[in-house]
Amino acid sequence: MDVEKIRELIKLAKEEDLKVLRVGDMDTEVHIETKGSGDTVVTEHGGKDKSSADGGHNGLHTVKAAQVGTFYTHKEENSTENFVEAGDKVASGDQIGMIEAMKVFNDVLADADGVVEEVLVGNGETVEYDQPLVTLRPKED
Amino acid sequence: MKKVLIANRGEIAVRIVRTLREMGLGSVAVYSTADRDSLHVTIADEAICIGPPKSTDSYLDIERMLQAAEVSGADAIHPGYGFLSETPEFARRCEEAGIIFVGPDSAIMKKMGDKAEARRTVKAAGIPVIPGSEGVVESIDEVKEVAADIGFPIVIKAVSGGGGKGMRFVHDEQSLGKQYKDARKEAKNAFGDDRIYVEKYIPKARHIEVQIVGDSKGDAVHLFERDCSIQRNNQKLIEEAPAAVLADATRADITERTAAAIGRLEYAGAGTVEYLYVEEEDAFYFMEMNTRVQVEHTISEMITGIDIIRLQLEVALFGQFDIRQEDIEMKGFAIECRINAENPAKNFMPSPGSIDRLHFGLGNGVRVDTHVFRGYQIPPDYDSMIAKIIAHAPDREKAIRKMRHVLGETVISPIDTTLDFQHYLMNHPKYMDNTVDIKFLENNEIIE
């Protein structure tokens, strides 16, 4: 279901002053709950979009998540300084981020030498096992 | 909206997602990299990859499960069967993390996981047990005393045992000394625990189990019983509900006694009490209690019309239990055949691979619980069960007839499956006469 359609449904739910609005078709169900003034909860069932970014092509090396958790690119909680940015040179073993889960922080380390091509995950985003985090362009000799 | 994470895979994960959807609850699937294209991943609201194919690093990893629950914001975890479903440590960690574990509390799970402790607990609650030692025996003299009391033959079993390790059959007092020493030594080597206990040896019996659901406050209801006597190496192949061998009075007695006893333990959610039933004595002997939903819960659902997964979720998430025993009625007869990706001609060797052709012989009173579809690749990393075919009919004979043509119509290829083997069993004279016991396949030279 496209976002515009959901927006329309939310508008409709508000206009009609509905607490709950549930709309479904074959494989998608939209459940909208309005909470007083303007605070709206939307959940959508089915039709997940799977991340297609897998790196590996174009001769790039991909650093992947070794665990489920929240990925941090920022070095400190109150800073916006990133461990690495696109264009940075890294060596195998350099820290490129952190993954936090169950209040435990684990360092994410580069497992190859190279230049950072792209950081694929934003600060504070949830990552799953094996999810590509950073692509590296290997050093050319 | 509450969200439930399913700490499992395969058909049971699919089964649980469907009930969650019916209840208007959110579902979170977890999967290993071998299961990326599995059905439970596709149909759940959210899916999180938690690890590599190896179970110990994915579906059996408590840490990763809890991390997935945390990042997805799940309120509860349904463990399914197998994997972490009977690991008290997992239930305890969920309790600590403030996540609802859909099952009984970790303390009772732990009790039931210890064979001697389980026997002691259920006996005290009023369940019939196999005559034997009261818990662990410390010396050979103690074994002799017990044997004098219950009579030979006896069986010595390891407290932490399983798979026949640390188990010895003793037919007379002369061989007792050696067998006792061997059992303890073997138990020590296999489990790091040489504690043993003694039971009367029961040479011929059926496997009959009672399905119960407890409200955690002292009440429990039963959903009648199942006969699971057709087994290979303790793996059930065919299950039936109810157990046709039982007289009505016997059925009423064992199911009511079991529900009352489990209620007394303040048990929460679904559980199964497994018995050996000796037909000649019309007597039940406790084997073990499974503190989770079972593979064969489906046939109890078919004869009662009750969704057991829904009951589990209602008890665990909402403390809701508005079902009364007198409202639970038994209707008809149900049979389940487990279809495994195995080759019966090659000693049931697993047969992983791609399913290119698939058709189930559906129809009135037929249910198929499965996670496979055309084009599905069966990974070699997990259990080989790929489908449960269930036939429901007014009586046993009609259910058998129905199952025969359902199996006959079904096509799963090119992998090897147990479809034809199950069809053969459905036509075996002893199966049709219902004169079987748990050693039926071995004793009739149907399998090696």
- Per-domain residue ranges of chain A: 3-45, 61-137
Query: Based on the number of CB atoms within 10 Å of its own CB, is B215 exposed (0-12), middle (13-18) or buried (19 or more)?
Result: buried
Cβ–Cβ < 8 Å for B50, B117:
no
Of A39-48, B132-141, B208-217, the least confident: A39-48
B244 and B365 inside one domain: yes
B272 and B151 inside one domain: no
Q: For residue B72, which residues of chain A lie inside 8 Å, CB to CB?
A: 126
Assigned domain for B409 exists = yes
A101 with B33: Cβ contact below 8 A = no
Confidence of residue A25 (pLDDT cuts 50, 70, 90): confident
Indicate the residue among B102, B119, B141 that finishes a domain. Answer: B102
Confidence of residue A53 (pLDDT cuts 50, 70, 90): very low
Determine whether B292 is an active site residue.
yes
Confidence of residue B144 (pLDDT cuts 50, 70, 90): very high
CA dist., res. B315 & res. B333, Å (int)? 27
CA dist., res. B279 & res. B206, Å (int)? 8
Read off the pLDDT of residues A115-140 as tens digits, 9 standing for 90 and up.
999 999 999 999 999 999 999 999 76
Domain membership of residue B39 as a residue range:
3-102
B78 and B155 inside one domain: no
B29 φψ region: left (φ > 0), alpha (ψ -120 to 50), beta (else): beta
Query: Based on the number of CB atoms within 10 Å of its own CB, is A27 exposed (0-12), middle (13-18) or buried (19 or more)?
Result: exposed
What pLDDT sits at residue B330?
97
Assigned domain for B34 exists = yes
Read off the pLDDT of residues B267-297 as tens digits, 9 standing for 90 and up.
999 999 999 999 999 999 999 999 999 999 9
Q: Please tell me which of the candidates B43, B46, B49 has its beta carbon nearest to residue A130.
A: B49
Using the predicted structure, report yes or no on whether residue A47 has a pLDDT greater than 70: no
B150 and B81 inside one domain: no
Which comes out higher in pLDDT, residue B155 or B1?
B155
Among B292, B338, B367, B396, the one annotated catalytic = B292
For all residues of chain A together, what is the average pLDDT? Answer: 83
Nearest-Cα distance to chain B for A141, in Å, is: 34
Assigned domain for B115 exists = no
B427 and B297 inside one domain: yes
For all residues of chain B together, what is the average pLDDT? Answer: 95
Of A6-20, A51-65, B23-37, the least confident: A51-65
B228 and B336 inside one domain: yes
Class of domain A61-137: mainly beta
What pLDDT sits at residue A78?
86
What pLDDT sits at residue A141?
57
Using the predicted structure, report yes or no on whether residue A30 has a pLDDT greater than 90: no
What pLDDT sits at residue A97?
96
A43 with B26: Cβ contact below 8 A = yes
Percentage, residues of chain B above pLDDT 90: 91
Q: What is the mean pLDDT of residues A68-82?
A: 92
Q: Which of A49, A2, A3, A45 minimizes the C-alpha distance to A24?
A: A45
B39 and B10 inside one domain: yes
B48 with A102: Cβ contact below 8 A = no
Assigned domain for B139 exists = yes
Query: Up-side HSE of residue B400: CA atoms within 13 Å toward CB?
Result: 15
What pLDDT sits at residue A38?
46
What pLDDT sits at residue B1?
84
Number of domains in chain B: 3
What pLDDT sits at residue A37?
44
Mutate which of A68, A102, A131 to disrupt the B interface (most B C-beta within 10 Å)?
A68
Q: Which of B438, B407, B11 minimizes the C-alpha distance to B233?
A: B438
Tokens at residue A28, please?
């998608």
B361 and B286 inside one domain: yes
Assigned domain for B228 exists = yes
CA-based radius of gyration for chain B: 22
What pLDDT sits at residue A52?
39
Cβ–Cβ < 8 Å for B424, B447:
no
Edge-to-edge strand list for the sheet holding A132-137: A61-64, A132-137, A114-119, A89-90
B48 with A31: Cβ contact below 8 A = no
Read off the pLDDT of residues B304-330 as tens digits, 9 standing for 90 and up.
999 999 999 999 999 999 899 999 999
B179 and B213 inside one domain: no
Instruction: Output the domain CATH number for residue B154.
Output: 3.30.1490.20
What pLDDT sits at residue B159?
85
Confidence of residue B338 (pLDDT cuts 50, 70, 90): very high
B151 and B258 inside one domain: no
Which comes out higher in pLDDT, residue B123 or A1?
B123
Using the predicted structure, report yes or no on whether residue A48 has a pLDDT greater than 50: no
Q: What is the mean pLDDT of residues B60-82?
A: 96
What pLDDT sits at residue A36?
60
Confidence of residue B94 (pLDDT cuts 50, 70, 90): very high
Residue B147 to residues A90, B144, B166, B372: CA-CA distances in angstroms?
Answer: 72, 5, 18, 51
CA dist., res. B416 & res. B423, Å (int)? 14
B45 with A43: Cβ contact below 8 A = yes
What pLDDT sits at residue A42?
59
A102 with B52: Cβ contact below 8 A = no
Q: Please tell me which of the candidates B26, B47, B68 has its beta carbon nearest to residue A48.
A: B47
Assigned domain for B405 exists = yes
What pLDDT sits at residue A41?
55
Assigned domain for B346 exists = yes
Q: Please tell me which of the candidates A41, A68, A131 has its beta carbon nearest to residue B64.
A: A68
B279 and B141 inside one domain: no
Read off the pLDDT of residues B154-171 as tens digits, 9 standing for 90 and up.
999 998 876 677 889 999
Q: What is the mean pLDDT of residues A78-103?
A: 93
Nearest-Cα distance to chain B for A92, in Å, is: 23
B313 and B358 inside one domain: yes
Nearest-Cα distance to chain B for A121, in Å, is: 15
Read off the pLDDT of residues B193-234 as tens digits, 9 standing for 90 and up.
999 999 999 989 999 999 999 999 999 999 999 999 999 988
